[in-house]
Structure 1
């Protein structure tokens, strides 16, 4: 048996940490002198201490460490480590996103704003004959699932789609939503067919005045583009937003590997008080 100071030297773990592990129930002394209160540890406790240190150094919290050491077998350990690996990966991604935002802010403060200048233009958008799929999806990042479903329908039913046909998404919610968003993905067709199984052939309404902006680069640039719209609307206060926003992805992950080369067009219908 070793006094706590001796055990500390032999295991290279501080007395403070040994006392802490005792307090939280991870590593109780093998014996405590009932007269002096001295803590004594045994050599048999060293493997358990090594497990605790390993788990602590790989990001496990006290409650997690307690659960792991009580179920120390190969199958359980693989599950515990896989879960912790995924958790740490997600945490790293979150921190990297924070770093990118900080870097952009620092460049802006130094007068080195590298963001794209978003030029707002006005267009008249005609009516389109389309095949569309409209659903409530978990969030905007799940839009790709709708495009996949629509693509599979076109292929399985041999629907004739003109070469370089226009593809766009319509966002039917009246405001921005973090979850359960109402999105319709559309592809222009030469003729209308029979709607079925949630897929709809229809003709869109023409839009007399559509404010449009081209967004170059990764999808993170879309947020600043909407901010540019806000400034534009403030400067051109004769225009008011109406209807549903649209988005056309001219160049994206399906035909371009480098996100810096993506090209997305944002369309916001507006009406003028002068008309």
Structure 2
């Protein structure tokens, strides 16, 4: 039998860790002397300790090690090792993504691109249950007419519309006329399609680039230019799908145009 200090020296494991393994139930002393209260370990326990250290160094926590020690056979251990490998790979990827974002953020700061008026963020957009109206209209300024039509339709049908309305632009380029747009208003429940108004679930967008535009609607053109600069600098993204626009504060809830708040959303694909 070896005292804990002797066992520590022979196994190259600190007394602190041996006591910790005892407290957690992974490796208790073979005997505790009744007279001296010394913790005594046997040579046979070195093998069990080596297993604990082996699993610890591979990233297994105490509870995982306890499970493996209780079911120590080759097939079970190989399965556990494969699961741990996948877990570590996912952790590495997550941390690498964080490092990439840190470098991009540093570059944005150095280039003074992180000001709120042109800050671009990436987020995931879920599917929404909406009442929509899609039309080809003469120009972008005609969008207001569609919203007035929807307001009349909703009032007649007693339909409650939330404030989180948005517009989807289906054209892949800028159009001077004949613009294909769809206005969408989230609703609590589905109804019957009528007079061009359609109830549907919008498509989720896993990677959506977003920027906020403050002030008059005339400022939106400048925001798109800032967006273009951002895309050029962040070439790991490519535009894909229909862009959206959300007017969080506009003529209906804000009297001062300088206080308007519009969000531009453009779907992205990582390349």
TM-score (norm 2): 0.56
Name which of 172, 176, 188 aligns with 1:178.
176
Describe the SS at the equivalent of 2:185.
strand
> How much does 1:191 deviate?
1.3
Instruction: Tell me if 1:142 matches 2:161.
Output: no
- Change in Cα spacing, 1:116 to 1:169, as seen in structure 2 (3 Å) is same
CA distance in 2, matches of 1:165, 1:216: 18
Q: CA deviation at 1:246?
A: 0.2
1:103-139 per-position Cα deviation (integer Å, ceiling 9, x unaligned) = xxxxxxxxxxxx9731000110000000001111110
Question: Which residue of structure 2 aligns with residue 197 of structure 1?
Answer: 195
Cα distance in 2 between the residues matched to 1:143 and 1:165: 17
**Matching of residues 94-133 of structure 1 within 5 Å:** 117-133=117-133
**Which segments of structure 1 move beyond 6 Å, counting only runs of 4 or more?**
none
Residue in structure 2 matching 1:264, options 262, 265, 271: 262
What is the CA-CA distance between 1:160 and the residue it aligns to?
3.2
Q: Are the equivalent residues in 1 in contact too, given 2:126–2:203 (CA < 8 A)?
A: yes
Partners in 2 of 1:179 and 1:172 — Cα distance?
A: 13
Query: Does the Cα contact within 8 Å between 1:116 and 1:216 map onto a contact in 2?
Result: no
Instruction: State the Cα distance separating 1:253 from its structure 2 match.
Output: 1.1
Aligned residue among 213, 219, 241 for 1:243: 241
Contact 2:117 2:214 in 1 (8 A): no
Instruction: List runs of 5+ in structure 2 lacking aligned partners.
Output: 1-114
SS at match of 1:256: coil
- Cα 1:196–1:224 shift into 2, 3 Å: same
Counterpart contact for 2:117–2:212, Cα < 8 Å: no
**SS of the residue 1:190 aligns to:** coil
Q: Is contact 2:163-2:248 (8 Å) kept?
A: no
* 2: CA distance, partners of 1:132 / 1:181: 16
Cα distance in structure 2, aligned partners of 1:252 and 1:142:
15
Within a 5 Å distance, the mapping from 1:1-275 to structure 2 comes to: 117-161=117-161, 164-273=162-271
Is the CA contact 1:127–1:205 (under 8 Å) kept in the aligned structure 2? yes
Give 1:242 deviation, angstroms. Answer: 0.4
- C-alpha deviation, 1:254, in angstroms: 1.4
Q: Is contact 1:215-1:222 (8 Å) kept?
A: yes
CA contact (8 A) 1:210 1:268 kept: yes
Q: The residue matched to 2:149 in structure 1 has which SS? A: helix
Asked if the contact 1:165/1:189 (under 8 Å) is kept, the reply is: no
2:118 is paired with a residue whose SS is coil
Q: Deviations over 1:1-45 (max 9, x none)?
A: xxxxxxxxxxxxxxxxxxxxxxxxxxxxxxxxxxxxxxxxxxxxx
Shift of 1:159: 1.5
Aligned length: 157
TM-score by length of 1: 0.56
Q: Is the 8 Å Cα contact of residues 238 and 268 (structure 2) preserved in structure 1?
A: yes
